[in-house]
Structure 1
Amino acid sequence: MRRPRWTCIGWKLLLATALTGAAVAEPTPEGEAQAALPPVSAHPPLVSPMPAGIAELLPPGVRPAGSPSDWVPATDAAAGDGSDAPGWLVERVERATPSGDARERIQVEYTIDRELEVSVREVLRRGGVQLGSVVLMDPVSGAVLAYVSTDPIAFPVTRTYPTASLAKVVTAAAVLRRAPAAAGRDCRYLGSPYTLGPAELVAPSRGGSVDPFWRALANSNNQCFARLAVGDVGAEAMLSEMASVGLLEAPAPGHPAGLFAPVRDALDLGRLGSGLAGSFISPLAAVRLAAVLAHGELVRPHWIAHVQDAEGRSLALPAPEAPQRVWLPELADQLRELLVGVTTQGTARSAFLDARGAPLLGPVRVAGKTGTLSGENPAGVYQWFIGIAPADAPRLAISALVVDGGRGRHSASQIAAEVLHEIFCDSEVCAPERLEARMAAWVQARPDPAPAAEAPLEDGPVDAAELDEMLRLVAGGEVDFPRRLRRNRVRGQIVFELELNRAGEVVALRVDSSNLPAFEKFVSQQVRSWKFTPPTRDGRPVEARARLPISITLN
């Protein structure tokens, strides 16, 4: 007997209530608003747009000598007004004018905290790291606070490197969003959890070891995550999730997009989902992924806070991009709690414990993920750590990458742990308030934002009626109801209000009206995994909000 299916009437997405343009701050667990770091201090009036090429100018800490940029440090780059300004890095740069008979000079103020960068470099030096990079970023605004490479020529930040097990963060998010029941299932495996071949894609029926979802993530179990990618997520959803957290695009000017190999079979997908092969990302993309863990929003990294011409007049900066909602805040909270297990009981545990076995950062919990994989160019073992701290009220995202060619003494986890210790701890105590005090000093030093170039204002998700084209369903749409819901004849309607990200994925929904309360939870779970055509307005990708009426008839 054929199982009855539900019928959906009225696929056209109707007009939804538009969001206001007011900025909304994410509340902390205590209910206090978290503000983004402000731009640098007040300056003379705006006169003209920022000169070409400045947006691609890398900060000095990661800029290789002989950089191809037209702009180079001025001969007196370390002198003059602003060089001793509290906190942030200031640099004078210059280039030849089109005629070649003069030099155009400007002053660039970065979001980089000079003292913080000095501390990071000292941690890398003490660890004997010859090839390594560290990025620190405000997860609310995207301001890069420290950006360091030990060797910008041999180990440039503008190159992609093996993603390794950082991919498990994306796989875990895809599981929790699209197949949450799989997260409650134990994983049985034989032999080493890090071995993966065709045979390991099939779970053994007995024997071996068993990991729950949290432990498989904490210990970076390749077998378990490969099976989740293959059996519960799928290739299309896996790549869609990676796109939603920005891994398939350039994270900032001058930086490459992630590289992803074709998924030809189940083993390819398993390796991609576990991080064993198939993907490469830059350190900036990695810290951007870490920042999504804060509030479920994708932010655009930036490191230029203000630009002045030779007469001290402010030049216009591009308007900052609004954060893009990619996960529900509840999902970000759930992932952070799972990833605390990495630093307390998993692969980064030894780095985040002191010599007595006590937490290195005291009450400051860190949600993080490690990754280790051999690679080339340069050759060696690539060790990653990304994290967000404090895990309970996120204010700082970190990415550390170390290539251990057998010479270094510290792993990426140890480097990250020591950097965070420098930030959150003094000689006596560790406390989240140390970071808050530092941020308060930044706020006092930078009371007024520098002017920004005019740009269209984003008012949050765009009304479906204002999009360039009608939204169309491209994935999902058919659901088999469980037996408990098929017992009686049913006729009714559930109207959802959806919020879509720029990839057309459902990131939030609520029931607007319904006369089928028994069906609401089940249908909501199904709709969350649906995908629509990417919404655009005036040719630009946007987030969208729309109403979706679903009529259900069961005979």
Structure 2
Amino acid sequence: MNVRVLLRTSALLVAVGLIAVGIFQPIEAEGRWLLFLWAAAPLLGVAAWLTVPPTVPSLARNVGNIGLVILIGFALLSLQLLRQQVLYADTIYHHVAVAADGSTTSNVRPVINSQRILRGRMFDRKGTLLADRTSVQGFAHRTYPIAERYDPAIFGHVLGFFSTRYGQSGLESFYNTYLTGERGNELERLRERLVGGTPQGNDLTLTLNADLQAAASAALGGRVGSVVVLDPRTGAILALVSQPSFDPRGLTFNPAAASWEAENLRVSQYWQQLIADGSQQPLVNRATQGLYPPGSTFKSLTAIAALEYAAEGQPDTITCPNTFLPQPDAPPIVNAVPNLAGLTGDPSDLERVFAYSCNTAFAQYALRLGPERMSEIARRFDILPPQRGTTNYAGFRELPTAQSLLYVEPGFLNMPRALADTGYGQGQLLVTPLHMALLTAAIGNEGVMMQPYLVQRITRPDGGQITSHVPRPIRRTMDTNTARIMVQHMGAVAAYGFGSSVDNFTPAGVTVGGKSGTAEHVPGARPHAWFIALAPLEAPRFAVAVMVESGGEGSSVGAELAGRVLGAAFATE
């Protein structure tokens, strides 16, 4: 190989390498890409120049050189167009540049286009219209007919908001492509682009029961907390309440406003109000994003572990002392109620220590089982050790959902006191109310945990069905017999244990089961009040999890709230 060929090949390879590396630089690094492009230009020129034989006459060579310069210029322009119009077209179309002072600059076309699309409607499971749309002077406006009956803020975290300024959240975000018609109605969108017309999105029918949602919100009152109601048989979410909430109308731009400037100011002021310090974070969906110590509701999982590993757990051979010392150099574990053995009996069994929520008994169960077995049962319910890069729960994607954690620090369960604390619901446990509802539902579904879901079906504007949800099991979490025993034990809580007030609000003859939880979190603060419940016990149709932040005793505050929610579930089904 002669020198000319070697130089030409080297220049060409380096130029191609620079272009290949540069063209995939992020759109924010446009200057870096242009630097790569201009660095490649002279190398391409050298490679092209070296392809011309030295025997070519000088006039022809000069003309050829001019042509090469023009050709390389067109090549560079084509590469830039390829990057902008093909590779990064969608990114550039939606790109928002943020300046040092926090101000933003973006392409107004997608905003204008989004305002012209009649987004799909949303209905509850009974056909009640929750979210609608109207057209005002060629611009779409999201409306909420449910406001005629209930405060739309009750549905804020589920429906989410749609804002041309602040984006989308909730179902508005997850199903955005369906609601705009980009998916599920592609031919109609193509026709609209070709011949004109107002784009229309597809409609969502939710699993939500609007009347139950409103009743659950009313039962929670002005307290900070959440309520989740599932159908254990399918995983359908019948109610999902988080308080405080937000009114989606506050973030919806109204094109019919007399002054668009004033309307934009109104939306901006409401947003600032929502994100202000001391606002109690109303944009956070506590039902799916709130991570809390579960307190004694977690004894349900420890009880399942003792039944699943009966040889090690010995579920019906247990004591309930006032104090229990799992580790010589650590403080003893103490029951919340003194002399509890007078109620549980001594020795006792799993049903009675579960009904009377004996901390020292469940600490013993956890130590008998050991960290591996406790971790295995928790894993079946997707309550996991911390994993790098994993913060969202993969079992439910329709709303942002935090991953529930068995512990935070690696090796935590290897310490006897830590394992014992975890057994009765403290330690480093952090779970979402949705996850406790899933655990409860699995007990009520003979051990099978179903995938939770909010959208039952998606239909076109003409009523044609695009898709319908088919219930899907996540996995079997326990033996069928274990689940049936747990149903009996939850029934004992409502019949004679700490939480019997849960049975005061359901129709006569309906059997109810549950488990209270009083979760310590910050020293000196009132505990979180939890309660999980199932009904009717013979064939559960409702699984409930309620949580009131710093609400007090789960056996009173939590049980009453769960009972009222169950009563509403039967009254509105």
Scaled to the shorter chain, the TM-score interval is 0.5 to 0.7
Aligned match of 1:219 in 332, 356, 371? 356
Residue type of the partner of 1:237? Answer: R
- 5+ long unaligned stretches in structure 1: 1-38, 42-57, 75-91, 355-359, 426-434, 439-555
Whether the 8 Å CA contact 1:164–1:277 is kept in 2: the answer is: no
Aligned match of 1:394 in 540, 543, 547? 540
Secondary structure of the corresponding residue to residue 161 of structure 1:
coil
1:132 maps to: 225
Distance 1:396 1:72 in 2: 24
1:304 maps to: 455
Bigger Rg, which one: 2
Residue 59 of structure 1: CA displacement? 9.8
Distance 1:313 1:123 in 2: 38
1:189 maps to: 321
Aligned match of 1:247 in 383, 407, 414? 383
Structure-2 change in CA distance of 1:310 and 1:71 (3 Å): farther
Aligned match of 1:339 in 477, 490, 497? 490
Residue 374 of structure 1: CA displacement? 2.8
Residue 160 of structure 1: CA displacement? 1.8
Residue type of the partner of 1:327? Answer: M
Structure-2 change in CA distance of 1:199 and 1:405 (3 Å): closer
2:31 maps to: none
Secondary structure of the corresponding residue to residue 549 of structure 2:
strand
Aligned match of 2:371 in 230, 235, 241? 235
Structure-2 change in CA distance of 1:335 and 1:316 (3 Å): same
RMSD: 4.2
Secondary structure of the corresponding residue to residue 443 of structure 2:
helix
Q: Output aligned runs, 1:54-69, within 5 Å.
A: 60-63=155-158
- Is 1:272 aligned to residue 422 of structure 2? yes
Residue 93 of structure 1: CA displacement? 5.0
1:178 maps to: 309
Residue type of the partner of 1:134? Answer: V
Whether the 8 Å CA contact 1:297–1:324 is kept in 2: the answer is: yes
Structure-2 change in CA distance of 1:383 and 1:108 (3 Å): same
Distance 1:250 1:73 in 2: 16
Aligned match of 1:106 in 198, 202, 209? 202
Residue type of the partner of 2:233? Answer: V
> Which whole-Å deviations, capped at 9, do the CAs of 1:21-41 have from their partners, x for residues lacking one?
xxxxxxxxxxxxxxxxxx999
Residue type of the partner of 1:332? Answer: A
Distance 2:355 2:553 in 1: 27
Residue type of the partner of 1:270? Answer: A
1:414 maps to: 560
- 5+ long unaligned stretches in structure 2: 1-124, 128-152, 173-177, 184-188, 246-280, 385-392
- Is 1:116 aligned to residue 262 of structure 2? no
Whether the 8 Å CA contact 1:296–1:328 is kept in 2: the answer is: yes
Residue type of the partner of 1:234? Answer: G
Residue type of the partner of 1:160? Answer: L
Residue 322 of structure 1: CA displacement? 3.4
Distance 1:335 1:73 in 2: 34
2:296 maps to: 165
| Larger RCO of the pair (alpha carbons < 8 Å, separation 6+) | 1
Give the TM-score taking structure 2 as reference length: 0.52
1:534 maps to: none
Aligned match of 1:287 in 431, 434, 437? 437
> Which whole-Å deviations, capped at 9, do the CAs of 1:346-402 have from their partners, x for residues lacking one?
221244348xxxxx653212121111113369x752111111111122121111111
Distance 1:104 1:381 in 2: 49
Secondary structure of the corresponding residue to residue 354 of structure 2:
helix
Residue type of the partner of 1:184? Answer: D
Structure-2 change in CA distance of 1:104 and 1:199 (3 Å): same
Residue 325 of structure 1: CA displacement? 2.1
Give the TM-score taking structure 1 as reference length: 0.54
Secondary structure of the corresponding residue to residue 342 of structure 1:
helix
State the number of aligned residues.
343
Residue type of the partner of 1:133? Answer: S
> Which whole-Å deviations, capped at 9, do the CAs of 1:118-174 have from their partners, x for residues lacking one?
22222223xxx4212111111111111111112144452223221221211111011
Structure-2 change in CA distance of 1:136 and 1:165 (3 Å): same
Whether the 8 Å CA contact 2:308–2:479 is kept in 1: the answer is: no
> Which whole-Å deviations, capped at 9, do the CAs of 1:221-279 have from their partners, x for residues lacking one?
11110111012x11011011011123335441121211232323011111111112221
Distance 2:536 2:126 in 1: 25
Distance 1:413 1:291 in 2: 17
Secondary structure of the corresponding residue to residue 205 of structure 2:
strand
Distance 1:308 1:111 in 2: 14
Whether the 8 Å CA contact 1:71–1:94 is kept in 2: the answer is: no
Residue 69 of structure 1: CA displacement? 6.1
Aligned match of 2:240 in 131, 134, 147? 147
Whichever structure has more helix as a proportion of its residues is 2
Distance 1:337 1:280 in 2: 27
Whether the 8 Å CA contact 2:531–2:555 is kept in 1: the answer is: no
Secondary structure of the corresponding residue to residue 365 of structure 1:
coil
Structure-2 change in CA distance of 1:164 and 1:71 (3 Å): closer
Residue 104 of structure 1: CA displacement? 6.4
Secondary structure of the corresponding residue to residue 324 of structure 1:
strand
Distance 1:371 1:165 in 2: 4
Structure-2 change in CA distance of 1:173 and 1:94 (3 Å): same
Residue type of the partner of 2:476? Answer: R
> Which whole-Å deviations, capped at 9, do the CAs of 1:40-63 have from their partners, x for residues lacking one?
99xxxxxxxxxxxxxxxx993534
2:186 maps to: none
Structure-2 change in CA distance of 1:137 and 1:61 (3 Å): farther
Among all aligned residue pairs of Structure 1 and Structure 2, give the percentage whose two residues are the same amino acid: 24
Residue 96 of structure 1: CA displacement? 10
Secondary structure of the corresponding residue to residue 280 of structure 1:
coil
Q: Output aligned runs, 1:494-513, within 5 Å.
A: none
Structure-2 change in CA distance of 1:137 and 1:73 (3 Å): closer
Residue 217 of structure 1: CA displacement? 0.9
Residue 422 of structure 1: CA displacement? 2.9
Secondary structure of the corresponding residue to residue 234 of structure 1:
helix
Distance 2:459 2:167 in 1: 18
Distance 2:356 2:297 in 1: 12
Residue type of the partner of 2:361? Answer: C
Whether the 8 Å CA contact 1:189–1:200 is kept in 2: the answer is: no
Residue type of the partner of 2:432? Answer: S
Distance 1:208 1:219 in 2: 8
> Which whole-Å deviations, capped at 9, do the CAs of 1:435-477 have from their partners, x for residues lacking one?
8xx4xxxxxxxxxxxxxxxxxxxxxxxxxxxxxxxxxxxxxxx
2:4 maps to: none
Whether the 8 Å CA contact 1:250–1:258 is kept in 2: the answer is: no
Residue 108 of structure 1: CA displacement? 1.4
